Structure 1
Amino acid sequence: HDNFGEDLIINVKNGDIFYWDKSGGKSARAEKLSSRSGADAKTPTVAKKVLVSDVDRHVIAFGCDPEASIGTQDPLLIRFSDQENPKVWESSATNTAGGLRVGSGSEIVTALETRQQILVFTDVSVHSMQFLGPPFTFGITQLSENITIISSNSAKAVDDIAFWMGYEDFYVYDGRVRKLPCTLRSYVFNNFNLDEKEKVFAALNSSYSEVWWFYPSASSSEIDRYIIYNYLENTWAFGTLNRTAWVDRGINDYPVAASTDHFLYQHELGLDDGSTEPAQAINAFVESSQIDIGDGDNFVFVRRIIPDLTFDGSISNTPSADLTLKTRNFPGTSYHTTQTTEVTRSATVPVEQFTSQAQVRLRGRSFALRIESDTAQVQWRLGTPRVDVKKDGRR
């Protein structure tokens, strides 16, 4: 769907196009665009997606029926209405209505508007569609072939950069199309229910420079997991959450998301899990990958850690988090030694103070660091903790 001024253009995928007129009030129902008073006989009646070009105000239908055969869908056809007039679709020398056909792939999957262009995705390629003006109105150029896109809602634009999820990879278009290196690629795609892939959707959390993808795991028929890409820090995160739709902050102060329990949730508001009554603490953690000395050729002795945390923003009077160090001797074995230290805030004025250091005794070929909390009204931010290590023998 998209806005046409204060009105709405709505499309059911592979179904009809509808128009909702705001002047009719909230009680008015949307009606078929082809049935509106004044709509010409060439108005599309089926499409995969519809959007409004913000720059030139054309309504554009993707994967729709051609002028010569209304009602018969062409999955690679793009048609656009006359400028500023969603009722006129019959092309002539006196208007700017017309159409284009994508030259590769078997169907258009989706389209995504960025600041400078409209990106059109087929099942194997991505194209750039741009406004040219009369007599051609729009032109289309292929940007890349041999790409995939997993669903019609799995792409998200950030200014003029686009991110999307494919079948086995993540992609970015920032002037050129390329695969996005992902440290969690196997974690996501090795536990994925492809039968429900069309439910996958991308969401933007602009306050934290993040793109989220919500998807169903292999054992679930509904969305139950997410993966986050921070495009400023170039980092990835993952978690479990049931969400079916998302609107970024803008009109609202916080992002709003729908869940499978039929409730709407405000995100980034509060410190606890508000889906329960009363709200419960969120079990939050950050864990590093393996850290070693000399590419794992030497054993290390860990004797001290200097935490670097801030609890700024916590409501609890005594916020704390557990900092755990754990070691192992070989990549394929479990951790054999762990030590946990509680990091607690002791003062906030004149500056924030917390646990200064912790003495530990750990030995192994590699070690990992984990920080976690499960206390209500607590939030923390990890800085750069320091670990005192030295080369050591096995005994």
Structure 2
Amino acid sequence: MFQQSELSFQPGLYSNRSKRASKGRWVDGNLVRFRDGVPAQMGGWVQSPVDGSAISGRPRDWLAWRPNNLSARLSAIGTHLGVFKFDGGSVTDISPVGIIPGRADSIIGSGFGAGLYGDEFYGTERTSSANLLDATVWTFDMFGEILLGCFSANGTLYEYLDGSTTKMVPVTNAPMARAMCVSDERHVFAFGCDGNPNLVRWSDRENRNVWAPLATNRAGSYDLQATSPLQCGKRVGGQILAWTQTEVFGLAPLSNSLVYSRDRLASECGAMGPHAACVVTDQGGGGSAYWMGSHSFFVFDGLVRKLPCELQDFVFKDINILQRVKCQARANTAYDEVWFFYCSAASTEIDRAVVYNYANATWTKALISRLTWLDAGIFPRPLAITEAGTIYEHENGSMAGTVRMPSFVRSHPIMVGVGQQLAEISDFWPDMEEGSGTCELTMFCRDYSGGPETPVGPFEFTPAVEKVDLSISTRQAQLQIAGKVGPWELGVPVLNVQSGGGR
């Protein structure tokens, strides 16, 4: 006798165990988020029309601001070849004059001078070594209305004031560094300074040109006792968090001559790279930092904690760790999300992201290539950029540019008992949010867990459809819902199932 079974699964995608061991879960999906416990298609994207200069090079950072006169919306896009100003409609090259191009990809160093003394033959290029040469990145921050940026290829700290200069120029007296940020007290922080990967320096307060500590100023430095190079620093909850590849340090303001404290907050929890950490500010002015480490995700909300990830295996069993410096953590605050972008094992460039919703603690996937991302705020919607320099406005419409949005969710295997009998599935009763577009139902059937997969479908349906006739007989069936036309949001649909024979 057929019985109706509600398809009510725990929200979020889950991939840390076998599909059969993931009972009651969605085990795969793309471009969906979970609202009130049910999957819904994410917003689409449209290409942003751009005039002026082409964006050349691989984008690695993006920062937006408004000048003090509020006359424009501005942003800076940093690539391995330079810096480009984008105002929502046009692009202008503001790269420093004479800048030498950086490195597009991380590589294992080779050639003359690489490797250990005595390796291979004298007078020949070394063919390999353990010398990792990172891809070039920019790190940006604002000093009032002055844009500051650090170019990792040459370690120079640059500045740009819109309307005053046409190109970025070096900051007077600034040290060479790997990355930078500005504190709430308006000290400019530089990380990995002057050839020392563990040295952090800061300028005098309100003066980006004074770096030498004197009794008459507030400049200073610390050589941190770290086991790996400094990656980046961020303002979090009234202090600066500084990440190495393996540790997190806190530098909090003091009222004495030391200017800042230094505390190792945690070990074995560093950041993948200069942009692998993201800060989400709450309404009270505090904030939390989320970041991607070499083996896990982490959060700082007063304490450093490992962030449980239900896509842990999906990420860290298929990642190109050589290109770790390209990893990006970016906020999509309108939807309470942090997007973690990274390169899969087979790719040398970012080709996917996992998305964490910090309001409901769910994870999902976005299998798209975006090299860097700019949250909404200065601009009305999130912006993202591809390897080719194409800018897309996200959370806009329901199309992936000009094509169908490849959104879907797939369930765990549905069985009768433990699969000892056939499951006879007669029909599917949709339940969709009012206004949802056309979707497709596909059942992926197997006779046993490791057996070949046979798709049945797709079957189109809309919210107005009463039921979809199936007539399927199988031991295991995974249900997949995919969008076809327009946005969609699933409710709690029903399957009519009965036990069959035991062949």
TM-score in terms of structure 2 length: 0.66
Inter-partner Cα distance in structure 2 for 1:392 and 1:135: 80
Coordinate RMSD, CA, aligned: 2.4
User: Residue 97 of structure 1: which of 219, 238, 243 is its match?
Assistant: 219
Task: Name the residue aligned to 1:17.
Answer: 157
Task: Name the residue aligned to 2:288.
Answer: 161
Distance verdict in 2 for CA 1:296–1:205, change over 3 Å: farther
Paired residue type of 2:397: G
Distance verdict in 2 for CA 1:264–1:10, change over 3 Å: same
User: Residue 349 of structure 2: which of 222, 225, 243 is its match?
Assistant: 222
8 Å contact from structure 1 (residues 326, 362) kept in 2? no
* Cα deviation 1:62-114 (Å, max 9, x = unaligned): 1113xxxxxxx221111111111112222222222112222222311111222
- 2:407 is the alignment partner of 1:284: yes
8 Å contact from structure 1 (residues 328, 337) kept in 2? no
RCO higher in structure (CA 8 A, sep ≥6):
2
User: Residue 208 of structure 2: which of 86, 91, 105 is its match?
Assistant: 86
What is the deviation of 1:238? 2.2
8 Å contact from structure 1 (residues 328, 336) kept in 2? yes
8 Å contact from structure 1 (residues 337, 362) kept in 2? no
* Cα deviation 1:323-354 (Å, max 9, x = unaligned): 22334343222334735432224xxxxxxxx2
Inter-partner Cα distance in structure 2 for 1:200 and 1:289: 30
* Cα deviation 1:220-241 (Å, max 9, x = unaligned): 3222222222222322222432
User: Residue 248 of structure 2: which of 126, 131, 135 is its match?
Assistant: 126
Inter-partner Cα distance in structure 1 for 2:275 and 2:182: 17
- 2:143 is the alignment partner of 1:4: yes
Paired residues, number: 358
- 2:495 is the alignment partner of 1:387: yes
8 Å contact from structure 1 (residues 322, 340) kept in 2? yes
Note the residue ranges of structure 2 that are not aligned, 5 or more in a row: 1-139, 282-286
* Cα deviation 1:133-152 (Å, max 9, x = unaligned): 23322112112112242221
Note the residue ranges of structure 1 that are not aligned, 5 or more in a row: 35-42, 66-72, 346-353
What is the deviation of 1:247? 0.7
Task: Name the residue aligned to 2:368.
Answer: 241
User: Residue 193 of structure 2: which of 59, 64, 67 is its match?
Assistant: 64
TM-score in terms of structure 1 length: 0.82
8 Å contact from structure 2 (residues 180, 232) kept in 1? no
- The alignment partner of 1:196 has SS state of helix
Task: Name the residue aligned to 2:266.
Answer: 144
Task: Name the residue aligned to 1:49.
Answer: 179
8 Å contact from structure 1 (residues 44, 64) kept in 2? no
Task: Name the residue aligned to 2:89.
Answer: none
Following superposition of structure 1 onto structure 2, how do residues 241-390 of structure 1 map, counting pairs within 5 Å?
Answer: 241-274=368-401, 279-292=402-415, 300-310=423-433, 312=435, 319-336=437-454, 338=456, 340-345=458-463, 354-375=464-485, 378-390=486-498
- The alignment partner of 2:404 has SS state of coil
8 Å contact from structure 2 (residues 444, 479) kept in 1? yes
- The alignment partner of 1:381 has SS state of coil
* Cα deviation 1:166-214 (Å, max 9, x = unaligned): 2232222233323333333333333333332222212211122222122
Inter-partner Cα distance in structure 2 for 1:156 and 1:334: 42
- The alignment partner of 2:350 has SS state of coil
Q: Which moved more, 1:190-199 or 1:79-88?
A: 190-199
Task: Name the residue aligned to 1:69.
Answer: none
- The alignment partner of 1:198 has SS state of helix
